[in-house]
Amino acid sequence: MGFAPRGGATARKEWYDRNPAVRFLQYSADGAAPHTDTERWNYTIPTGKKAFAEASELEIVRATAASAAGLVMCRVNYRPSGGIPYRLLTLRMRTNGVGDARLIQLGHSVTLLAGDALYGYTADQSTGGTMDYTETVKITEFDA
C-alpha cells in the first residue's frame, strides 16, 4: 500500500503564492472641521481576484473643542457583490475634551470575493471644533 504524495505537479498554489499584491486603504486628516457623512475611500475586488482584509486601524482624536459637540464617527462598511452595505467597524465619540480619542487596532481576516467592496467614512455632527482622523485597512489581493 502506498500513499499518494501531497500536492504534485498540478497542485494549486496557496493563496499567498498566487500573484499576491498588497493594498493599503488609508485616509488621514488632521484638524478637519465638522462635516456630514463622507466616503473617504472605496475598494472593489477586481474580477478574477479574491482578497483578505488583514488589519485595520481607525482613530479619532478631538483637536479643538466644539461649541456644541455632536456625534463624531469613523467607520468601515462591507458590501458583498450585488448586496447591500453592512457596517463592519465603527468608532463613535460625543465628548468634547481636547485630546479625547477613540481607537480600534484590529488584526483579522475578512474574506473578500470579486465584486465585494469596502468603504471608509467619516462624519462629525458638531458645531465648531476640529477632529483628527486615521482610517486604514491593509489588504492582500490574489488570483482567485
Summarize as ranges the residues that interact with other proteins (CB under 8 A).
Answer: 22-30, 32-44, 46-48, 70, 81-82, 114-115, 117, 121-126
**Nearest distance from C-beta of residue 45 to other proteins, angstroms:** 9
Nearest to 122 by CA among 35, 53, 52: 35
**Nearest distance from C-beta of residue 48 to other proteins, angstroms:** 8
Nearer to other proteins, 32 or 106 (CB): 32
Which residues partner with 59 through β-bridges? 103, 134
**Nearest distance from C-beta of residue 107 to other proteins, angstroms:** 21
Residue 63 region by backbone torsions, left for phi larger than 0, else alpha for psi between -120 and 50, else beta: alpha
**Nearest distance from C-beta of residue 87 to other proteins, angstroms:** 12
Nearer to other proteins, 15 or 41 (CB): 41
Nearer to other proteins, 56 or 126 (CB): 126
Nearer to other proteins, 15 or 125 (CB): 125
CA–CA gap between residue 140 and residue 63 (Å, rounded): 33
Residue 90: C-alpha distances to residues 21, 22, 104 (Å): 26, 24, 9
Positive/negative CA dihedral, 10, 16, 21, 23: positive
